[in-house]
Structure 1
Amino acid sequence: MTTSRKETATQSGALILLVLSHVFFLPVAGAFLPAEVLRLGTDNGLDTQTSYTVLGGIFLLLILLFHGLSFRMARARGENRLSVIVIAFFLLSLAALALFGIPSPLVAVVHAAGFVI
């Protein structure tokens, strides 16, 4: 006698990483890294502009890392629609970094709403 068990759909690892990076990792990095990078820069004799340039580079690397991993995971599982969504969020993150100097589009929307209100 065999029993059939319904298969439960598992969440994609790429989707989980994408959500975590946009809800947790990038906002936390945007909140705590600027103070640390500026403190380390002034302790080592760097001017503020150089510290901000280094900070922008770190944010860019974090954006590339999280979205690159999500994209590769989605492509490896054949989730083409999810890989397009990852690219869209990658572009949103780059726009948030270029316009507001923060790596998270979610925080950028909050800042933009604050400018409007």
Structure 2
Amino acid sequence: MSEMMQLIEDPNMPKERRKRRVPPPMPTIPQDRIAEVRTLLADLAELYDFGHCDVYDSVFFQRTCEYMAGVSFESAPADGACMRMRDLGTEIILSKSTSTKAFIDFFKSIVDFWNAPS
């Protein structure tokens, strides 16, 4: 499990025993940052109960809508990463999905798009 996941506080722990932890700084090299995000997403995917809906689902849906509204796919390259991002985002918006698995796939596609060779 990644170091970042270990820093997430246990909500069941009594407040007097909780320690405020500062996460480590993000790596300065872009490839290392992308690797760190991929590791965090993989850890979240393993730990999250995909059948459970909570308040974060609406936040993820809103972020997906904002991101899709801010991207112009007409001027974007027609490569695999860009089309996958467009297809996943469109599917989430049209179905009004709150599937955490769909959100993780969408955010992974954004990371893949950033990491794609230009």
What range describes the TM-score normalised by the shorter chain of this pair? under 0.3
Please, what TM-score do these two structures have when normalized by structure 2? 0.27
TM-score normalised according to structure 1 size: 0.27
The structure carrying a bigger helix percent of its residues is 1
